[in-house]
Amino acid sequence: MKYAPPLLLVFAALLCLSPAPPPAGGWVSLFNGKDLKNWDVKIAKHALNENYGNTFRVENGVLKVAYEGYSDFADQYGHLFYRQKFSHYLLSVEYRFTGQQVKGGPGWAVRNSGVMFHAQPAAALGRNQDFPISIEAQFLGGNGKDPRTTLNLCTPGTHVVLNGKLFTPHCVDSKSKTYHGDRWVRASLLVLGDSLIRHIVEGDTVLTYAKPQVGGEHVSGHDPKHKRDGQPLKEGYIALQSESHPIEFRTVQLLDLAPYAKDRKKLAAVLRRSEP
């Protein structure tokens, strides 16, 4: 399938922009630094808002994903969903990996987490569902010696258009640097509905694609009525992952671009003002 999106021409000027970190006019903190207000917890094998093992908690102003309450991970993949859905926005997250993976976590999940977006609502996940139908910006931490990119793309129950063609494999690497150790990393997403999406790490664009849509595999335990293959993903929820390795978030901030989505000049102006 070939695809030549006209919006990519319209937003060509935007591609050279590097959205800056907050604060800036209009930025909102989704994480308030105090508690999990306005967030829903969904962990596989557990009911909605059963925060098994106190997986998601806030300590010293930092949102932590931790596993002291687990004897074994046992495929209990978790997600922390913000309760409001969004369509057009800039998202900025500061994260870092810490400690050691919990017993029973899969080998591929060492220093592995991510942020899901355009996701189905938490309440729509099946009790045993592993991942929401969504687009994932995957965080990977380095092992101290080997290259390992971050802010990669994974597609649980979804497809995108990459380099002009429908992309049906599960994951693709970004072109980011490797971030070893426990350092903080700033990851940003430019999401323009079902048209254009960019992954940005420390101000550098590392991946661009378009046309997110429902389709494919790599999600289980879901209600089939929520998976309508071919349906464009124009909006959805944002969720932080729990995949067996401890991770911390000190900021989760969003600039809502929906008011400017139909006015390209205003949208471009807002994005320019988001620069330093």
Write the pLDDT tens digit of every residue in 194-224: 999 999 999 999 999 999 999 999 999 999 9
Q: What is the mean pLDDT of residues 252-270?
A: 93
Q: What pLDDT score does 273 carry? A: 76
Of 130-139, 248-257, 266-275, give the lowest mean pLDDT range: 266-275
Cα-Cα-Cα-Cα torsion 209, 214, 215, 216, nearest 10 degrees, comes to 80
Q: What is the mean pLDDT of residues 52-57?
A: 99
Strand order in the sheet with 78-82: 39-43, 78-82, 237-242, 112-119, 135-140, 152-154, 171-172
Residue 177 has pLDDT above 80, yes or no: yes
Confidence of residue 272 (pLDDT cuts 50, 70, 90): confident
- Average of per-residue pLDDT across 115-123: 99
Phi and psi of 8, rounded to 5°?
Answer: -65, -30
Q: Give strand pairing partners of 113.
A: 139
For range 81-88, the mean pLDDT: 98
pLDDT at 275: 53
Q: 193: pLDDT confidence band, cut at 50, 70 and 90?
A: very high
Three-state SS for the chain is: CECCCHHHHHCHHHHCCCCCCCCCCCEEECCCCCCCCCEEEEECCCCCCCCHHHCEEEECCEEEECCCCCCCCCCCCEEEEECCCECEEEEEEEEEECCCCCCCCCHHHCCEEEEEEEECCHHHCCCCCCCCCCEEEEEECCCCCCCCECCEEECCCEEEEECCEEECCCEECCCCCECCCCCCEEEEEEEECCCEEEEEECCEEEEEEEEEEECCCCCCCCCHHHCCCCCECCCEEEEEEECCCCEEEEEEEEEECHHHCCCHHHHHHHHHHCCC
What confidence tens digit (pLDDT) does each residue in 10-31 have?
454 454 444 444 434 489 999 9
- Residue 125 dihedral angles phi and psi, to the nearest 5°: -75, 140
The separation between CA 13 and the C-alpha centre of its own chain, rounded to angstroms, equals 24
Higher pLDDT, 271 or 164: 164
**Average pLDDT for 221-247:** 98
pLDDT at position 18: 45
Q: What is the mean pLDDT of residues 148-154?
A: 99
Place of tokens 């922009």: 17
**Per-chain mean pLDDT for the chain:** 92
Share of the chain above pLDDT 70, in %: 90
Domains and CATH numbers, the chain: 6-273 (2.60.120.560)
